[in-house]
Amino acid sequence: MPFTVQNSLSDSWLAWFWHQRRFWLLAPLLVAFPLFFIGGPQWQAPPLYRELWSQGHMVFFALLSVWLTSVVPMHRPRRWLLLSAAIILVGAVIEGIQAQIGRTASWEDGLRNLIGVWFGLFWSLPAGRGVYIGRLFASVLVLWQLSGLVPHATNHLYRVQQFPVLSNFESSRDLAIWNGNIERVTEPVREGRYSLAMHFGTQRYSAVGSYALPRDWRGYHELVFLLHNPYSEALPIVLRINDRQHEQAGPRYADRFNRGLIVQPGWNEYRIALDEVRQAPEGRAMNMAEIQQVQLFVQALEQPRTLYLDDMRLEIVTQRD
């Protein structure tokens, strides 16, 4: 009996809490609404963080739907349709405003709005045949959306496990975080079975880089990587490293690390002292906990060239010869 009494009290408290949702849900909804127009990860943020932020559309509109069912009777299918139409309109207005203020408008966000509304609506309504069908349909759509997080999560976990190796190209997951005219190849290779072929063109600046490498470089002393030059003559290239503040303040050349390298024929090993990277920005220290981009670029080549990158990693130097 004590167990039954305790369960009854618990159920009563939960029922009271649920019936009061029109009050306790209003505050988080009002706080979250401005986030459609301010805040959020920049386009250079890790893909996992950007995807999680995008899924916030579903969370917000699911909570909005739960709140609406507490203030407006929503038992009839006609009202479900009217609510869906209203959310499509609201979503279009939000995306239109975002496009005007420099944010990215997306029809996918509008779809997430609808999925969130349907999920919150059908799981808030009393059970019935139509409601059960709605719950199943909305739940399948939510799972479909969340499945998009899986590759980003596995890629993020892979990079965490590999660290302090930044990229060795032994997995196709490494290829996914680099941009430019690139491909993963089996020859030439210095470490493991694969390297990254970087194809540079003849435009003024031709670059290969990554915004998605692990960002916290504190506690390490050197950036180490290998470059292979298959040609008979040396090739100049520039290594660029910058932090998040550089991206936000504007791409000033003097506000980042730039190091010219001469890539001799064959394999070349480079060791870049991270103290030099930290001290590179003019008038400030680079934030080694927020490294944003690593890039290799060439300038105005007379003809296209291909270099090969392998085994980029951070190292701790315990002693020097």
Residue type, 127: A
Parse the chain into domains and list their residue ranges. Answer: 2-147, 166-315
174 membership: H or E segment, kind and range: helix 172-176
Q: Are 222 and 273 in contact (CB under 8 A)?
A: yes
266 forms beta bridges with 229
pLDDT for the residue numbered 1: 41
Residues in the chain predicted with pLDDT less than 70, given as ranges, are 1-11, 16-18, 39-46, 102, 249, 319-321
Q: Cβ distance 307 to 228 under 8 Å? A: yes
E strands present in 127-284: 165-167, 182-185, 195-200, 205-210, 222-229, 235-243, 257-263, 266-273
Tell me the whole-structure pTM to 2 decimals. Answer: 0.72
Q: Look up tokens 């159920």; give the residue.
A: 11
* Residues in a beta bridge with 257: 241
Question: Which CATH code for domain 166-315?
Answer: 2.60.120.260
Can you give the pLDDT at residue 91?
86
Q: How far apart are CA 137 and CA 144, in angstroms?
A: 11
The answer to whether 223 and 312 are in contact (CB under 8 A) is yes
SS3 20: coil
The pLDDT of residue 159: 83
- DSSP for 30-67 reads HHHGGGGTS----TTS-HHHHHHHHHHHHHHHHHHHHH
Residue pair 92/149 in contact (Cβ under 8 Å)? The answer is no
Helix H or strand E encompassing 134: helix 129-147
pLDDT of residue 6: 47
The pLDDT value given to residue 11:
64
Token pair, residue 117, equals 């509304």
- Looking at residue 217, its pLDDT comes to 95
- Residues ≥6 apart with Cβ < 8 Å to 69: 120, 121, 124, 125
User: What's the pLDDT at 5?
Assistant: 45
The pLDDT value recorded for residue 113 is 92
Closest-CA residue to 266 (of 303, 312, 234): 234
Q: Which residues pair with 228 in a beta bridge?
A: 267, 308
Give the list of residues 6+ apart from residue 83 with CB closer than 8 angstroms, or none: 65, 68, 74, 117, 121
**pLDDT (0 to 100) of residue 173:** 86
Quote the pLDDT of residue 42: 67
